[in-house]
Amino acid sequence: MQRVVVIGGGATGSGILRDLTMRGIPAVLVEQGDLVHGTSSRYHGLLHSGGRYAVKDPESARECATENAILRRIAPFAVEPCGGIFLQLAQDDPGYADRWVTACQKAGVPTERIDIEQLRREEPGISPDAVAAYRVPDASVDGFRLIAGNVAAAEALGGRTLTYRRVTGLLKDGPRVTGVQLINERTGEEETMEADLVINAAGAWTGQIAAMAGIHLDLVADRGVLLVYHGRLTSQVINRLRPPGNGDIFVPAGTVTLLGTTATPVASPDNLEIPAAEVAALLRQGADLLPAAATARVLRAFAGVRPLFKAKGDGANTRDLPRTYQIVDHSAEHGVAGLISIVGGKLTTYREMAEKAVDVAAAHLGVTAPCRTALEPILPPPDVDVVRRVQVQVGAAQATYLLDRHPAGLADLAKELEAPLGTEVICECEQVTRGELLVVARSLPQPSLSDIRRRTRLGMGTCQGAYCGYRAAFTLAEAGLAEPAAAPALMLDLQEERWRGVSAALPGPELRGAELTYALYAGLFGGMKP
């Protein structure tokens, strides 16, 4: 029997697993899909300074400001400290800027007014209507890397993770939750797992898990649509200096730029539809900040669902709901022992959310060890000799990217890169090599190209998997990591996932790219449709 089962393989769940294991509490994490399957991979990639919420939600702003500084220190492999700008346009309320600056000061968000002409030299693409600008410590954060790092750190201390395990029910002994019922989504096998305590960190699905214990949580599933642009339209995060709304954040992330986001309440957290009207609105609204956004190449669109906690008296407009979080101890709140839920919050504040949840869990378990997650780096520094081996194979610049993508598995990666054909490039857009592909595939029980994509960025560049998809599938078959007969299914799975995002952004170059992908796969593989 486990002491604790954590439900949810996103940022909060992985942070909880790390915190539990650091306090010496045995734990296992279960996730219905792959790690980073849900909201933690479906957002704009912004490590918030707190500036966005300073006026309307000062508590969230304070949380973001504090955790921003902590994450830069403990997770450098996942954070690009690109900085951020809040940009006021001529048509925006001139009085809002003064209120915003005052609110930032109260919330502990550093701001610095900068000369608009200086900013134009730094960011020549900003709107000619810009009249004022302020610097804030925004950054870009990679949710895939962050969660992989937390999981690796926890596993090094004895924690376990089980992916593709969907919770179908909670085990109960009278009013007490004693574990979880699972189904293995890959095999169809049913499993049970007993535990002293279950922590419900299922994000947008938290309400569904609580309902299995007969508990109603007033959560709102708030869908946001985002666009991914080819290349970096800006070197810094660009926010619009006005009350939070749609299409008012550009985030440079790796080789692309993300524009977000919309806010639409939906009935189910599985509703990831991408309405054409929302895509058109984002293009129009984003062009107010960066005029080139109206005509720049859009690689894809995607959607994620925010789990917002609706307290008594909150209105129906999801933009007005607070972005802070709540820890719900169901033994105190609902008379159901053995279950704790975390609702609301943001990826930026995941570590604090995990700390507060584990504080409650530790009290129930009689554990007095304090939280150390803000004090210690998530992962130790890499071995210098291993870094040199990687640099010899791929060069210093590419080695830096690999170090960030695989900070916990660099030794295995070095070995694969040194093998024959290890440095053969499978994905040109993101420079994914055969060695990187294989070391990731061998770490997964049943590798799919979508699972590998989340860990390497395979297929996330300009061609959206058109060329690298079939190379990757054949490489897995050649290495004995997939049956040769399964290669078409592997490719189709990746192309179907990529098609959902590409099809929402088809006008212009993407339509021609989609036609090329179809011709490629139809010609090579006997009519297989992407």
Same domain, 150 and 278: no
Is 310 within the bounds of a domain?
no
Predicted pLDDT at 190: 97
**356 assigned to some structural domain:** yes
Q: Which pLDDT value is given to residue 497?
A: 77
Q: What is the CATH number of the domain that holds 165?
A: 3.50.50.60
Q: For the ranges 208-217, 398-407, 497-506, which has the lowest average pLDDT? A: 497-506
Q: pLDDT above 70 covers what percent of the chain?
A: 95
State pTM to two decimals.
Answer: 0.93
Q: What is the mean pLDDT of residues 132-159?
A: 96
Q: How many domains does the chain have?
A: 3
Of the given ranges (121-130, 334-343, 362-371, 496-505), which has the lowest mean pLDDT?
496-505
Q: For residues 458 and 426, is the Cβ–Cβ distance under 8 A? A: yes
CATH classification of the domain holding 92: 3.30.9.10
- pLDDT of 188 reads 95
Mean pLDDT of 399-426: 92
* Domain presence at residue 168: yes
Instruction: Specify the pLDDT at position 314.
Output: 61
Judgement on whether residues 236 and 299 belong to the same structural domain of the protein? yes
Per-residue pLDDT band at 315 (split at 50, 70, 90): low
Average pLDDT over residues 41-47: 89
**Residues 259 and 125 occupy one common structural domain:** yes
Query: Residue 525: which pLDDT band, with cuts at 50, 70 and 90?
Result: low
Pick the more confident residue, 106 or 403.
Answer: 106
Whether residue 389 lies inside any domain: the answer is no
Same domain, residue pair 449 and 474: yes
- Does some domain include residue 372? no
What pLDDT band is residue 530 in, cutting at 50, 70 and 90? very low
- Over residues 86-113, the pLDDT tens digits come to 999 999 999 999 999 999 999 999 999 9
Q: Chain centroid to CA 134: how far?
A: 27
Pick from 154-163, 387-396, 481-490: least confident: 481-490
Confidence of residue 70 (pLDDT cuts 50, 70, 90): very high
Phi, psi of 453 (to 5 degrees): -55, -45
pLDDT for 1 equals 63
pLDDT value for 441: 95
Q: Of the candidates 303, 333, 349, which is a domain's last residue?
A: 303
Residue 395 and residue 406: Cα distance in Å, rounded?
A: 16
Instruction: Please compute the mean of the pLDDT values over residues 475-487 and round it to a whole number.
Output: 91
φ and ψ of 505, to 5 deg: -130, 40
pLDDT of residue 321: 77
Q: Is residue 380 part of a domain?
A: no
Where does residue 33 rank: exposed (0-12), middle (13-18), buried (19+ CB within 10 A)?
middle
Q: Does the pLDDT of residue 450 top 60, yes or no?
A: yes
Whether the per-residue pLDDT at 336 is higher than 80: the answer is: yes
Q: Are residues 436 and 516 located together in one domain of the fold?
A: yes
Q: Which of 59, 87, 149, 79 is nearest to 406 (CA)?
A: 149
Using CA atoms, how far apart are residues 288 and 294, in angstroms rounded to an integer? 9
Residues 214 and 265 in one domain: no
- Looking at the fold, whether 517 and 431 belong to one and the same domain comes out as yes
Residues 170 and 282 in one domain: no
pLDDT exceeds 50 at position 528: no
Query: Whole-number mean pLDDT of the chain?
Result: 91
Residue 162 lies in a domain: yes
Structural domain boundaries enclosing 118: 79-140+224-303
pLDDT for 57 equals 93
Q: What is the mean pLDDT of residues 330-342?
A: 96
Give the end-to-end CA distance of the chain in Å, rounded to a whole number.
Answer: 44
Residues 168-203 pLDDT 10s: 999 999 999 999 999 999 999 999 999 999 999 999
In this prediction, what percent of the chain has a pLDDT beyond 90?
A: 75
167 plus 297 within the same structural domain: no
What is the model's pLDDT at position 468? 87
What's the 3-state SS for 293-347? HHCCCEEEEEEEEEEEECCCCCCCCHHHCCCCEEEEEHHHHCCCECEEEEEECCH
> Crossing angle, helix 396-405 and helix 384-394, to 10 degrees?
120
Could you tell me if 228 and 103 lie in one domain? yes
Q: Identify the three-state secondary structure at position 224.
A: strand
Residue 379 lies in a domain: no
Q: Are residues 296 and 328 in the same domain?
A: no
Give the pLDDT confidence of 218-259 residue by residue, as tens digits: 888 899 999 999 899 999 999 999 999 999 999 999 889 999
Helical packing angle, 468-478 and 487-502, nearest 10°: 160
Identify whether residues 292 and 353 lie together within a single domain.
no
